[in-house]
Amino acid sequence: MAKITAVIDIGSNSARMAVFKKTSRFGFYLLREEKSKVRISEGAYENGGNLQDFAIERAIKALKEFLLIAKSLKVRKILAVATSAVRDAPNKSEFLARVRKELGINIKVIDGDKEAFFGGVAAANLLYEKNGVTIDIGGGSTELALIKKKQIQQTISLKLGTVRLKELYFDKGDIEGAKKHVRKEIKRLDEAFKQNKVFGIGGTIRALSQVIMKRIEYPLDILHGFTYDTKEHIKFLKSLIKMKDEELLKIGVKPERLDVIRPGVLIFTELLDFLEAKQVITSGVGVREGVFLTDLLRHDNYKFPENFNPSVRTIIDVYQINTKLSSYETKIALELFDLLKDEFELDEKYKLHLTYAIKLSRAGELIDFYEAHKHTDYILLNSLHYGFRHCDRLLMSKIIRFYKRKKIKKREIEKYKCLLPQKNIIEKLCNIFWVAKLVNINLSMPEVTIKKEKNCIIIEGENLYLAKERSKTRELFFELIIKEKGIE
């Protein structure tokens, strides 16, 4: 696959382009995203669904400049799709031909099932949960994809859109009518879609997650992966349907969303009720990422390899992290973990956090060596987007942030307490992390034996001079004795 790929997506309201750069076989990051308010469907409704000249003109101009961006970024492959607005237009072939002729772009008009599939591929591969159902609420339609073991089982496109409902009902104040319409359409859903977990895709659901994050004073400013329990917020969400503009603005709805948020909430809450969903997992990714991944993973059954995390891979690639060193340090850390877990009452699950913390710990050195632990913390909180729960990501980053210290101050993690384990658990993981790094302080991956005798960890091997010296500079939760082989 080309190293740099652009995905163009023409929706009813705007055209967008996302440019992805591959860093290795499956590593990638978003290089750029741009959008233009093309409103391709403007005037179409009154004209038998036909795309109008002025709208086509806008699309051509926007696409032309998208191509300039692609050229500047050395894009090698362009994947362009169009969804409901173009799909439903009787004169779409005219538009498609013009774009092909004038710009050389082949736009693929995708049906609702395909659209649902792309959203599903993005959610299944880039969120932490393997099972659930995606909901992607758009202006003209709403797509669902049923995911089991990261595999898409079933898809459907409902004729429910925010703009559609707004024009047909909300503008006339007929909320009851809208509700009836929605419920009728939802009946088309197969029972199999009823799932505990919902992956929420698209602007409406993201906006609602933001409102909830503000409401509960969520400590992280990260949308992708933000998870909430339906039963805690469904009542509040439903109350938005009848809120006035000022109230909506007050709770954090952006002005440009005001006109479609109410119908959006109606569709969303009705779906949540029908699906009997217990949790909503917010997705920052959608159709564009799905198109990219579908291409990237076309020989891999549209799935990353088992236990592969694309963000981890990308960080390792981008910051050129030496994985030999980190594998060695991980081995030491897990050995220590096994020796200490009973005494420290450490749950096995924390091995995951230790492993990734070590894997990524050197990323921050590129920003500044002396304070690398702070910078890695920063990078993890801001780059490690895919495949982790917020709580996992936060724990990894805080192990790195605090590993040099014996004590973490309460106020330093107070605001994260809903997401982190108890302070003393973090401190103990920090201890293990520190010792694993210490043993490899000279980067020679020394062969060592590690034993535990009572409350004492004894590490023996060659080339441990610096490690031994440094070991005396800090207090740990256990006694640490480092012995240089053959030297008393």
Nearer Cβ to its own copies (378/416): 378
**Tokens 């970024």, located at residue:** 73
Nearer Cβ to its own copies (376/431): 376
One residue of 2, 34, 179, 474 binding its own copies per CB under 8 A: 34
Q: How far is the CB of 403 from its own copies (least distance, A)?
A: 17
One residue of 1, 2, 29, 274 binding its own copies per CB under 8 A: 29
One residue of 171, 245, 371, 447 binding its own copies per CB under 8 A: 371
Say whether residue 370 binds its own copies (CB under 8 A): yes
Nearer Cβ to its own copies (29/477): 29
The CA–CA distances, whole Å, from 425 to 9, 88, 114, 334, 344 equal 46, 57, 46, 15, 8
Nearer Cβ to its own copies (236/465): 465
Q: How far is the CB of 348 from its own copies (least distance, A)?
A: 31
Q: How far is the CB of 462 from its own copies (least distance, A)?
A: 11
Q: How far is the CB of 155 from its own copies (least distance, A)?
A: 28
Q: Which residue type does 163 have?
A: V
Query: Collapsing DSSP states into helix, strand and coil, what is residue 488?
Result: coil
Q: How far is the CB of 257 from its own copies (least distance, A)?
A: 14
Look at residues 415, 462, 425 and name the one whose alpha carbon lies nearest to residue 350: 425
Nearer Cβ to its own copies (64/349): 64
Nearer Cβ to its own copies (32/389): 32
Nearer Cβ to its own copies (175/318): 318
Say whether residue 466 binds its own copies (CB under 8 A): yes
Say whether residue 98 binds its own copies (CB under 8 A): no
Number of residues that bind its own copies (CB under 8 A): 43
Say whether residue 220 binds its own copies (CB under 8 A): no
Contact segment (CB under 8 A) with its own copies among 26-34, 199-207, 241-249, 261-269 equals 26-34
Which residues between 321 and 360 bind its own copies (CB under 8 A)?
322, 325
Nearer Cβ to its own copies (280/384): 384
Nearer Cβ to its own copies (69/476): 69
Which residues between 43 and 72 bind its own copies (CB under 8 A)?
61-62, 64-66, 68-69, 71-72
Which residues between 469 and 488 bind its own copies (CB under 8 A)?
469
Say whether residue 32 binds its own copies (CB under 8 A): yes
Question: Which token pair is 128?
Answer: 């932490």
Tell how far CA 250 is from the center of its chain.
27
The CA distance from 220 to 210, in Å, is 11
Say whether residue 24 binds its own copies (CB under 8 A): no
Question: Which token pair is 240?
Answer: 């938005």
Say whether residue 262 binds its own copies (CB under 8 A): no
Which residues share a beta bridge with 280? Answer: 198, 228
Contact segment (CB under 8 A) with its own copies among 110-118, 229-237, 380-388, 411-419 equals 380-388
Which residues share a beta bridge with 201? Answer: 136
Nearer Cβ to its own copies (232/256): 256
Q: Are 4 and 21 in contact (CB under 8 A)?
A: yes
Q: Are 190 and 154 in contact (CB under 8 A)?
A: yes
The CA–CA distances, whole Å, from 406 to 307, 338, 430 equal 32, 20, 8
Look at residues 106, 108, 103 and name the one whose alpha carbon lies nearest to residue 86: 108
The CA–CA distances, whole Å, from 469 to 177, 433, 438, 460, 463 equal 76, 18, 10, 14, 12
Tell me the HSE value of 406 on the side-chain side, using a 13 A CA sphere.
7
Pairing type for strands 28-36 and 448-453 reads: unpaired
Q: Are 472 and 438 in contact (CB under 8 A)?
A: no
Question: Which token pair is 92?
Answer: 């779409």
Query: Collapsing DSSP states into helix, strand and coil, what is residue 79?
Result: strand
Q: How far is the CB of 442 from its own copies (least distance, A)?
A: 4
**Tokens 């233009």, located at residue:** 36
- For the packed helices 323-344 and 350-360, what is the interaxial angle rounded to 10 degrees? 150
Contact segment (CB under 8 A) with its own copies among 160-168, 189-197, 318-326, 406-414 equals 318-326
Q: How far is the CB of 198 from its own copies (least distance, A)?
A: 23
Residue 116: count of CB within 10 angstroms of its CB = 29
Tell how far CA 352 is from the center of its chain.
18
Sheet of strand 15-22, all strands in order from the earlier edge strand to the far edge: 28-36, 15-22, 4-10, 77-82, 107-109
Nearer Cβ to its own copies (359/385): 385
Residues 421-450 vs its own copies: string with x where CB under 8 A?
--------------------xxxx------
Q: How far is the CB of 445 from its own copies (least distance, A)?
A: 8
Question: Which token pair is 177?
Answer: 């009518």
Which residues share a beta bridge with 22? Answer: 28
Which residues share a beta bridge with 65? Answer: none
Q: How far is the CB of 68 from its own copies (least distance, A)?
A: 4
Say whether residue 242 binds its own copies (CB under 8 A): no
Pairing type for strands 479-484 and 456-461 reads: parallel
Binding residues for its own copies, per CB under 8 A? 29-34, 36-37, 61-62, 64-66, 68-69, 71-73, 318, 322, 325, 365-371, 374-375, 378-379, 382-383, 385, 441-444, 463, 465-466, 469
